[in-house]
Amino acid sequence: MVRVGAHTSIAGGAFNAVEEQVEYGGNCGQIFSHSPQVWQDPNIEDEEAERFRSLSEEHGVGPWVIHSSYLVNLCTPKDDLREKSVDSMQKEVDAADKLDIDYVNVHLGAHTGAGVDGGLSNAASALDELDVPDGVTVLVESDAGSGTKLGGDFEHLATVQARTDQDIEFCLDTAHAFAAGYDLSTPEGVEETLAAFDEVVGLDQLACVHLNDSKHACGTNKDEHAHVGEGEIGEDGMRAFVNHDAVANVPLVLETPTEDGKSFQWNIERVRELRGE
């Protein structure tokens, strides 16, 4: 059975994210360790972490991903922002270790004038500063590529991996890739996109997928998610993607909206329908 789940809330305790996941019918998932809009440290008590671990094991939910704060910018040329970003990421990987979570997901961020090459070097060296616990892997996520944000081009991901000493892997966001110009709306486009990822980065480095449809057209660099099969990627593209051999064993994490009477549960069921499960 496919590993598919949603981004769930730790409000009231990290263990609540597991119970919410089970309600949706998910068997893997993603959380924030704290509010992603502010600089804040994870505050996870030992008993809370134990309940999270035991519930995840009891219900067979995993792997889990911690998504880093939206404020983190690994590409920045600004010393103060870099310091805050590295400090925040260190606390995230430590929280992942405490919760027995495999992955911490992060966007590269924006170079804000440092240039593409300079921004990628900044990101690689920032990653080098992390002391990542054994059993935790940092995932760099593909981006929609608006403004000076990096990660929209698969070459950006490969360059950071080549320049860092950190053992990183990757998360491919389907809506982001589509917005960045990789056409996933047809079976042929899915094949071409995954072949390009394999050639440039390597599918063996793909540890997670953020499975989202897009409200905007291919190549617009606009990041706004839609329900699976109901956006610009559409049903044909999504069906081809979730059934592709390259992602057969890769966890699919949904960040789809809750609107039009459809929630994460609807989207999880939709993925399973598209896979014929």
pLDDT in tens, 47-84: 999 999 999 999 999 999 999 999 999 999 999 999 99
Using CA atoms, how far apart are residues 101 and 64, in angstroms rounded to an integer? 5
Secondary structure E strands in the chain: 4-7, 29-31, 64-67, 103-107, 109-110, 137-141, 149-150, 169-173, 206-210, 213-214, 225-226, 252-254
Structure confidence by residue, pLDDT tens digits, 32-49: 999 999 999 999 999 999
Cα 3 to Cα 32, 63, 141, 162, 175, distances in angstroms: 19, 8, 19, 29, 19
- Cis peptide preceding 133, ω within 30 of 0: no
- Pairing, β 213-214 against β 225-226: antiparallel
Q: Which residues contact 195 (CB under 8 A, 6 or more apart)?
A: none
Residue with tokens 């839609």: 226
pLDDT in tens, 203-215: 999 999 999 999 9
How large is the average pLDDT for residues 154-168? Answer: 98
CATH for 153: 3.20.20.150
Question: Three-state DSSP class for 50?
Answer: helix
Rounded average pLDDT over 160-181: 98
**Hey, which residues does 60 pair with through a beta bridge?**
none
Amino acid at 51: R
Range 123-141 average pLDDT:
98
Are the C-beta atoms of residues 212 and 173 closer than 8 Å to each other? yes
Tell me how far apart the alpha carbons of residues 146 and 222 are, in angstroms, rounded to a whole number: 7
Type of residue at 203: L
Q: How many domains does the chain have?
A: 1
Range of the domain at 244: 4-274
Total-model pTM: 0.97
